[in-house]
Chain A
């Protein structure tokens, strides 16, 4: 769609710059909360934000980050989050590839019914089922483990569906040629179906990592101690510690600690990230 105003003529130019200015201001407005949090996190503890200038302190310091790290076991939270996210990612990559391949390649009895059964997960999101799933986790003896946080996501309807779609795009002639060459199912999947579908797998993987890095409610429900608690649940506990109170520089430092790794990766791979989110349509 073309621009509202073309940068020709005096009024055209004026309108063009007005739209750009508006875009810039709106963007600034959207960025302010995070920028402000960053500024606040570098404020020395001796200059509380409640009194004095909220934007400029006398100096910039990283002491809030080290204090936050010492007040709560953020290192452990990091390890937990990373293990949980990678565990989910690893298992999902396998389950969705295998199931997607079966649905795309084979003809078998009950195929539509099985696909519908799996797609139920799209209509009834796991988040809504936290109460009964909690009972299951208890019954399995998994309460307060990292596995408890990860296990409900090991099978993914959305991932299965995406991989099926990607595999269906692979030209039939290519598949038939592979069959004639005597490929077994694993070779077909590995050498014919997967190579052109890799971008879809990466797209799903990236959004899976972001989604599970950020998840809070389910981990809150199934954890009870720091040994399994991820960053999000740890941060909320931290904000509620009595001795923290309204020490904003400390709170914002802790918040940015939780955000930092994902944010830095995002800044580096911005284009791929946005592409992935569009492809997978899933947080």
Chain B
């Protein structure tokens, strides 16, 4: 019977059409809503087309016109700057907080479940609900946010979502509050899978807690960190729902990020050409972050094998 196995494996694991039929539904939906729109956006980004202006309603080929117009537009450069600040600040802070939370609640005592619940619950909320709650939280005068800050001696402006210097920060605070607990659960799972004997050996060698944290825990959680940072950075580019509730990108674009600007360009300005160009720029940003993370993980993998 054992001799028959290889033959069985070969024969039964091949089928001329069935695997294609099984993949077909997924293939069709990915083709329709990922591959095709990417190509369409790329194509349309070379045309001028504005749906709300009669003479520009039909697409006209303008080469790189949309791209050069965008990159010579101060508003767009501001949006790019906001986006980079937003992504490069919210993602790392959320990850560090997530790691801290995981360290704090990784212990078996009564009531720790409540702390885990408190840190994790924002993940379950829709971003628009979180934003509505924070809008209330940020209210000048009696909003709890300002009251809280005043206890620590804050005397700055109160209207966080309407202040040009604070609006982007307000948006980032909500994003961090919402996501830290999400990254926490990956670190918690990572911490709980660590081998205990390494720590016992380190304790015998007289290592203190900090040394163990930096020299054992951190290196062992490298994969978790890479995974979490990939989803954190990619996610940050896409997280704009709260902007619709809190600031609408304002005041004077101070809190507008790329995806929000893309929405405005397409659905408020009805500018199909520029919206397509922004789509392509956004995709390029996402690819840069994905590929960088991938390369980093591969390189570190080699180092650890060497």
Residues of chain A whose beta carbon lies under 8 Å from any beta carbon of chain B: 1-5, 19-20, 22-24, 26-28, 30-34, 36-37, 40, 49-50, 54, 94-96, 98-99, 101-103, 105-108, 111, 114, 117-118, 120-136, 151-152, 154-157, 160, 172, 176, 179-180, 185, 210, 213-217, 220-221, 231-232, 235-236, 239, 246, 248, 251-252, 254-256, 258-259, 262-263, 266-267, 270, 273-274, 277-278, 281, 283
Partner of A98, one of B8, B22, B36, B275: B22
Whether A95 lies near B128 (C-beta < 8 A) is no
Q: Is the interface of A mostly helix, strand, loop or mixed?
A: helix
**Given contacts A3-B107, A217-B263, A248-B136, are A99 and B182 in contact (CB under 8 A)?**
no
Tell me the residues in window 270-295 of chain B with beta carbons closer than 8 Å to chain A beta carbons: 272, 275-276, 279, 282-283, 286-287, 290
Whether B117 lies near A95 (C-beta < 8 A) is no
Tell me the residues in window 115-141 of chain B with beta carbons closer than 8 Å to chain A beta carbons: 115-130, 132-137, 139, 141
CB distance from A236 to the nearest CB of B (A): 5
Which B residues are CB-close (under 8 A) to A155?
25-30, 33
Most buried by A among B124, B130, B212, B290: B124
Whether A252 lies near B133 (C-beta < 8 A) is yes
Whether B283 lies near A124 (C-beta < 8 A) is yes
The answer to whether B106 has its CB under 8 Å from any CB of chain A is yes
Sample 28 A-B pairs with CB under 8 A, ordered by A number.
A1-B103, A1-B191, A1-B216, A3-B107, A19-B104, A23-B105, A23-B112, A26-B104, A30-B122, A32-B144, A33-B134, A98-B22, A98-B23, A99-B25, A102-B20, A105-B19, A120-B30, A124-B286, A131-B272, A132-B40, A157-B30, A172-B9, A185-B18, A239-B132, A258-B129, A270-B117, A278-B189, A281-B231
Seed contacts A27-B119, A101-B22, A255-B133; 17 additional CB < 8 Å A-B pairs: A1-B194, A27-B114, A31-B118, A33-B130, A37-B133, A49-B142, A129-B33, A133-B37, A155-B27, A217-B240, A236-B245, A252-B136, A259-B125, A263-B124, A273-B124, A277-B185, A281-B231
Whether B29 lies near A117 (C-beta < 8 A) is no
Which A residues are CB-close (under 8 A) to B155?
none
Tell me the residues in window 127-186 of chain B with beta carbons closer than 8 Å to chain A beta carbons: 127-130, 132-137, 139, 141-142, 144, 147, 177, 181-182, 185-186
Whether A132 lies near B41 (C-beta < 8 A) is yes
Partner of A129, one of B41, B235, B237: B41
The answer to whether B238 has its CB under 8 Å from any CB of chain A is yes
Question: When chains A and B are docked, how far (Å) is the Cα of A96 from the Cα of B213?
Answer: 39
The answer to whether B76 has its CB under 8 Å from any CB of chain A is no
Interface size class of B (residues with CB under 8 A): 35 or more
CB distance from A148 to the nearest CB of B (A): 11
Closest residue on chain B to residue A99 by CB atoms: B26
Question: When chains A and B are docked, how far (Å) is the Cα of A195 from the Cα of B199?
Answer: 37
Which B residues are CB-close (under 8 A) to A106?
13-15, 18-19
Which A residues are CB-close (under 8 A) to B231?
281
Partner of B115, one of A2, A24, A267: A24
Question: When chains A and B are docked, how far (Å) is the Cα of A40 from the Cα of B237?
Answer: 32
